[in-house]
Amino acid sequence: MLKINDLHVHYGGIHALNGITLEVPENKIVTLIGANGAGKSSTLKSIMGLAKTSHGTIQFNGEEITGKPTTHMVSQGLILVPEGRRIFSNLTVEENLFLGSYLRKDKAEINKDLNWVYELFPRLKERLWQMAGTLSGGEQQMLAVGRALMSKPKLLMMDEPSLGLAPLIVKDIFNIIKEIHRKGMTILLIEQNAKAALEAADYGYVLETGIITLEGPGKELLVNDQVQRAYLGDHK
Amino acid sequence: MKKANVVQSLVSIAVVVVLLTVLNGFLSSFQARIFNLCGIYVILALSMNLINGFVGLFSLGHAGFMAVGAYTTAMLTMSKEMKEMNFFLEPIAPWLLNVQLPFPIALIVGGLMASLAAFIIGAPVLRLNDDYLAIATLGFSEIIRVIFTNTQSLTNGALGLKGLPYIGIANKSSEAYWWIWGIVIITVVFMVVLIKSTYGRAFKAIREDEVAAEAMGINLFKHKMMAFVIGAFFAGIGGSLLGHLMGTIDPLLFRYLLTFNIVLIVVLGGIGSITGSVISAIVVTIAMEVLRILDGTIKIGSLVINGIPGTRMVVFSVLLMVVILFYQRGLMGTKEFSWSWFKKLPFITKKAKIS
């Protein structure tokens, strides 16, 4: 579904991504793990057209989308749940959700998706008229995911959905990710929480300072020595 | 639900029209003039609130847009004889001399020219953020003023234009009231509809978080430009009305101080509230007149305080500082007037329970 080939991204003089190649097949959860500053967020940003790609190609459903504006990406079915949630604090929960469907014109379908989001996150429905900024951290993350789903994406990209959340809530979030996946959604997940991410993922990539150093099925990476030592804190 | 909203809005407009009619009956001509000025400031505050309050662009170019609107409309409404009388230092450009349009058309052309100016400077300037945008737009506004001072054959330069016809089509001063307040109603309705539309939602999203808004597929530049151009249109209209109400304009009228008056109104009313801007524009404009007593000599019994001209502006500056320091949300914050407020009043809820 999504194919990235030899992607380079520069910020000023910093070489954030140094030629990464990865693939996200349809109906799979693919995860990209790595430490701070490894280039995880840069990867998502350049896919969405939020960061400038200096070299390489990005293909989505066979279409070359490198360098296209973000509006185009969203209309093609790519959506990003940004790092740190970035919900619109001073707008109501409902307004936030409708902003997710901003580019869509199919009213009936939008309402259907809205009901689906309420089903996934009953708590959002209870807080429809509340300002989004008054929600708890976990609820805000749910809202960010719900907002993204409202765009009717084909590929849902999440940037550290577990960031700053209590362990119990993180579990909730990952259950929701699996639930969304079960409905047929393709997901590209970026995480520092390597264990949770690899357990949920079909396939994983390990990113280190702009280069992919390791890849393989999630279950295999979970038991891989190198991953264990670097990300799972296991010093056997 | 939606039908009820339309009915409520129509009722609101009817109430306002009735109020205006009643007011028109007993306002003296001086009071009516101040009240007309209130109306103009409502239009100006709303146009600035769209750009600065709803989209969150820190633009200080309002005086520039107003100047463009005021001069365009003035040049289009003044008669040939009046223009010849004004341009005694250097003759007017011949192609401008014979143009004369009815007031409503000239007014719209004035607004459109202000929009055009916004469109032209918007392209480079709207890529900037925050303070940089403020500096760039402030610079634009001053450039417009300097240009108007120096294009003698087009604007009569520093001498300004005198003898602008009255607002309206019959050339009667009494007509201004309904013209101005009619345009105020149109502006308010337009802004409410715009803010409640999906565009309005996108504007607010951009104000809240540009990166997230962009990630949702909202084209930042397009929306910013749209708000900028629409805001400039109404600023141009406001400038035209101001010029025609006063009957004379010159470049010094459109200094940055004029922009700051509008900023004051918008901040006091609440950045991002249409209701707040309307109330604040009326209150501040009236207060500006009432507080003129501070500028003159005040006698309290045997105590005589010699007024210093400009004292009222000091009062307003202090007020602005107090608001910024202690009450940043302004009068209304981002809240709006709605009929549901009345439902919360105790005696009405009781009635509702009985029925």
pLDDT by residue (tens digit) across B308-323?
Answer: 777 888 888 888 888 8
Q: Do residues A120 and A52 both lie within one domain?
A: no
Q: Do residues A72 and A181 both lie within one domain?
A: yes
Nearest CA in chain A to B205: A88
- Are B202 and A102 a contacting pair at CB < 8 A? yes
Cα–Cα dist B252/B249, whole Å? 8
Q: Do residues A180 and A71 both lie within one domain?
A: yes
pLDDT at A180: 92
Residue B121 lies in a domain: yes
Rounded average pLDDT over B62-70? 96
- Are A88 and B205 a contacting pair at CB < 8 A? yes
pLDDT at B322: 87
Higher pLDDT, B271 or B44: B44
Domain span at residue B220 reads 12-274
What's the longest Cα–Cα distance across chain B?
76
Element (H, E) at B248: strand B248-249
The CATH number given to whatever domain includes residue A165 is 3.40.50.300
Rounded average pLDDT over B126-152? 93
**Residue A99: both structure tokens together:** 């902003």
Amino acid symbol at B47? S
CB–CB of A173/A141 below 8 Å? yes
Residue B172 lies in a domain: yes
CB–CB of B222/B229 below 8 Å? no
Domain boundary among A134, A152, A170: A152
Nearest CA in chain A to B209: A88
Q: Cβ contacts (< 8 Å) between B204 and chain A: which residues? A: 88, 90-91, 95
pLDDT at B4: 74
- Are B208 and A90 a contacting pair at CB < 8 A? yes
Rounded average pLDDT over B243-247? 94
B346 pLDDT band (50/70/90 cuts)?
low
Q: Cβ contacts (< 8 Å) between B201 and chain A: which residues? A: 91, 95, 98-99, 102
Residue B282 lies in a domain: no
Report the Cα–Cα distance between both ends of chain A, in Å, rounded: 38
B171 touches chain A (CB under 8 A): no
* Number of structural domains in chain B: 1
How buried is residue B44: exposed, middle or buried, by Cβ count under 10 Å (0-12/13-18/19+)? buried
Q: Do residues A162 and A203 both lie within one domain?
A: yes
Pairing mode of beta strands B298-300, B303-305: antiparallel
Per-residue pLDDT of chain A (236 residues; tens, 9 = 90+): 899 999 999 888 888 899 999 999 999 999 999 888 888 889 999 999 999 899 999 999 999 999 899 999 999 999 999 998 899 999 999 999 999 999 998 889 999 999 999 999 999 999 999 999 999 988 999 999 999 999 999 999 999 998 888 889 999 899 999 999 998 999 999 988 888 899 999 999 999 888 999 999 988 998 888 888 877 765 55
Within a 10 A sphere around the Cβ of A178, how many other Cβ atoms?
A: 13
Q: Do residues A64 and A170 both lie within one domain?
A: yes
DSSP string, A130-151: SBGGGS-HHHHHHHHHHHHHTT
Residue A86 lies in a domain: no
Residue B264 lies in a domain: yes
Predicted confidence (pLDDT) at residue B266 exceeds the cutoff of 80: yes
Q: Which of A71, A95, A98 sits opposite B217 (nearest CB)?
A: A71
- Are A151 and B214 a contacting pair at CB < 8 A? no
Q: Which residues, numbered 318 to 337 in chain B, qualify as contacts with chain A under a Cβ-Cβ cut-off of 8 Å?
A: 334
CB–CB of B184/B42 below 8 Å? yes
Residue A119 lies in a domain: yes
Residue B55 lies in a domain: yes
Q: Using one digit for the tens of pLDDT, what is the confidence trace for B171-229?
A: 788 889 999 999 999 999 999 999 999 999 999 999 999 999 999 999 999 999 999 99
pLDDT at A38: 85
Instruction: List the one residue out of B121, B113, B117, B118 whose CA is nearest residue B70.
Output: B113
Q: Cβ contacts (< 8 Å) between A79 and chain B: which residues? A: 215-216
Q: Do residues A192 and A142 both lie within one domain?
A: no
- Are B211 and A95 a contacting pair at CB < 8 A? no
Which residues are A156's β-sheet partners? Answer: A79, A187
What are the Cα distances from residue B6, in Å, to B185, B189, B348?
15, 11, 21
pLDDT at B347: 55
pLDDT at B94: 85
Residue A214 lies in a domain: yes
Q: Do residues A126 and A12 both lie within one domain?
A: no
- SS3 of B310, please? coil
Lowest-pLDDT range, B33-42, B73-82, B285-294? Answer: B285-294
Q: How many residues appear in chain B? A: 355
Residue A82 lies in a domain: no
Domain boundary among A152, A170, A186: A152
Domain span at residue A138 reads 91-152
A98 touches chain B (CB under 8 A): yes
Q: Do residues A59 and A35 both lie within one domain?
A: yes
- Are B211 and A82 a contacting pair at CB < 8 A? yes
Rounded average pLDDT over B8-37? 90
Domain boundary among A106, A124, A152: A152
- Are B218 and A86 a contacting pair at CB < 8 A? no
Q: Cβ contacts (< 8 Å) between B202 and chain A: which residues? A: 99, 102
Residue B245 lies in a domain: yes
Q: Do residues A71 and A100 both lie within one domain?
A: no
A79 touches chain B (CB under 8 A): yes
Phi, psi of B84 (to 5 degrees): -60, -35
Within a 10 A sphere around the Cβ of A146, how many other Cβ atoms?
A: 26
Within a 10 A sphere around the Cβ of A155, how many other Cβ atoms?
A: 22
Instruction: List the one residue out of A151, A148, A204 whose CA is nearest residue A176.
Output: A148
Predicted confidence (pLDDT) at residue B351 exceeds the cutoff of 50: no
Average pLDDT, chain B: 89
Tell me what ipTM this predicted complex has. Answer: 0.90
Phi, psi of A81 (to 5 degrees): -95, 105
Judge if pTM exceeds 0.80. yes
**Residue B213: both structure tokens together:** 């808004």
Q: How distant is the Cα of A20 from the closest Cα of chain B, in angstroms?
A: 22
DSSP string, B180-201: HHHHHHHHHHHHHHHHHSHHHH
Which residue in B54, B197, B208 has the most chain A C-beta atoms within 10 A of its own C-beta, making it the best mutation to test that interface? B208
Q: How distant is the Cα of A122 from the closest Cα of chain B, in angstroms?
A: 23
Q: Cβ contacts (< 8 Å) between B217 and chain A: which residues? A: 70-71, 73-75, 102-103, 151
SS3 content of chain B, % helix, strand, coil (to 5): 75, 5, 20
Q: Do residues A116 and A232 both lie within one domain?
A: no
DSSP string, B26-55: H--HHHHHHHHHHHHHHHHHHHHIIIIIIS
Helix ranges (H only) for chain A are 40-48, 70-76, 93-100, 107-120, 122-126, 137-149, 167-182, 194-200, 218-223, 225-231
Cα–Cα dist A137/A169, whole Å? 9
Residue B242 lies in a domain: yes
pLDDT at B353: 42
* Number of structural domains in chain A: 2
pLDDT at B283: 93
DSSP B308: -
Q: Do residues A201 and A99 both lie within one domain?
A: no
pLDDT at A234: 58
Instruction: List the one residue out of B106, B104, B113 whose CA is nearest residue B75.
Output: B106
Q: Do residues A147 and A199 both lie within one domain?
A: no
pLDDT at A178: 92
